């Protein structure tokens, strides 16, 4: 029998007792919840498509930010029309940045799943990076590079600390990326970059507020670049994040834009909602209030 609500659950989380309890909790409230477990990452889009074809009106992503990204991309498709189904979130990852940024009670899985099944959908913006979509943050530079090459076992031991960009800058001897920022109607801006983030939401790196002014429904993407500035101590980065648009900032370059392109002289590691890629050029744009999310 078809169910209007489907939980797409990360395979490694399927046998966790607290997740079984959360499913039991919402079913006990009379919610007809179907649980599907994709075999691997590539199988997730197929599972979402099958759930939609069976009549699902609400798809819940059960996993970390990468799982949420995969389910969201499956709902968005090519981005030509707004998805009819609502996205719900059951946060089961290491960082859970999107869930934290939405104010979900991440420590209470019963409540999170209940919200995912029953809350009214709120329309949020969707960011586009070339042909891929993201709903939280795309980060680039050395933080994304080191995160992409960090073994899963180490991430599990370190927790959110494995993603802390400021900590990574201090630990590793970093050489900056040279590149350009291209904004329609403006002169190209050239410079040196250590790390960057494009935020549709505020949080990345295990709770690090990389885009403090970002809002999910403002029709803008927040670009934050940690510049390589001679004589500027990286310890001042946290202070500059408190006033990101201060023109006197030496380390942080911050803009709110509808579209722009980042070009690098060499391949840059990027992380799109937890999914790694390598590019020399990424063109960013936003689809305003394109996806309904229950939170």
Which residues touch 94 (CB under 8 Å, ≥6 apart)?
Answer: 64, 155, 156, 159, 160, 162, 163, 206
pLDDT at 71: 97
Class of domain 5-126: alpha beta
Let me know: does 94 contact 64? Beta carbons within 8 Å. yes
Instruction: Please check whether the two domains, 5-126 and 134-288, share a CATH topology.
Output: no
pTM: 0.87
Class of domain 134-288: mainly beta
Domain ranges of the chain: 5-126, 134-288
Q: What is the pLDDT of residue 280?
A: 94
What is the model's pLDDT at position 127?
A: 98
Q: Which residues of the chain have pLDDT under 50?
A: 1-2, 146, 154-155, 158, 161-171
Catalytic residues: 275
Question: In sequence order, what E strands does 217-274 have?
Answer: 221-227, 252-257, 259-272
Two tokens, residue 247: 């023109």
pLDDT at 232: 60
So what's the pLDDT on residue 87?
A: 98
CA distance 286 to 93: 26
- Rounded CA-CA distance 37/280 in Å is 35
Quick one: pLDDT at residue 143? Answer: 56
């Amino acid at each position: 029998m078809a169910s209007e609500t489907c939980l797409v659950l990360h395979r490694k989380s399927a046998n966790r007792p607290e997740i079984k309890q959360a499913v039991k909790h919402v079913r006990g409230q009379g919610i007809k919840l179907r649980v599907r477990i994709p075999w691997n990452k590539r199988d997730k889009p197929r599972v979402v498509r099958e759930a939609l074809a069976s009549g699902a009106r609400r798809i819940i992503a059960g996993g970390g930010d990468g799982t949420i990204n995969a389910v969201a991309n499956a709902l968005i498709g090519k981005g030509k029309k707004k998805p009819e189904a609502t996205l719900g979130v059951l946060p089961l990852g290491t960082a859970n940045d999107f869930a934290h940024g939405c104010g979900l009670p991440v420590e209470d899985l019963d409540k999170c799943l209940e919200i995912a099944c029953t809350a009214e959908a709120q329309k949020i913006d969707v960011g586009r990076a070339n042909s891929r979509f993201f709903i939280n943050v795309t980060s680039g530079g050395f933080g994304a590079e080191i995160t992409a090459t960090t073994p899963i076992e180490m991430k599990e031991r370190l927790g959110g600390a494995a993603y802390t960009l400021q900590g990574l800058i201090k630990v590793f001897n970093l050489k900056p990326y040279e590149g350009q920022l291209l904004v329609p109607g403006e002169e190209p801006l050239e410079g040196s970059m250590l790390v960057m983030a494009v935020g549709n939401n505020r949080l990345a790196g295990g709770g690090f507020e990389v885009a403090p002014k970002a809002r999910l429904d403002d029709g803008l993407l927040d670009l934050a670049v940690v510049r390589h500035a001679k004589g500027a101590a990286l310890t001042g980065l946290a202070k500059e994040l408190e006033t990101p648009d201060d023109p006197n900032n030496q380390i942080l370059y911050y803009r709110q834009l509808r579209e722009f392109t980042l070009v690098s002289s060499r391949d840059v590691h990027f992380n799109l909602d937890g999914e790694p890629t390598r590019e020399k050029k990424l063109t960013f744009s936003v689809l305003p209030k394109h996806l309904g999310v229950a939170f």
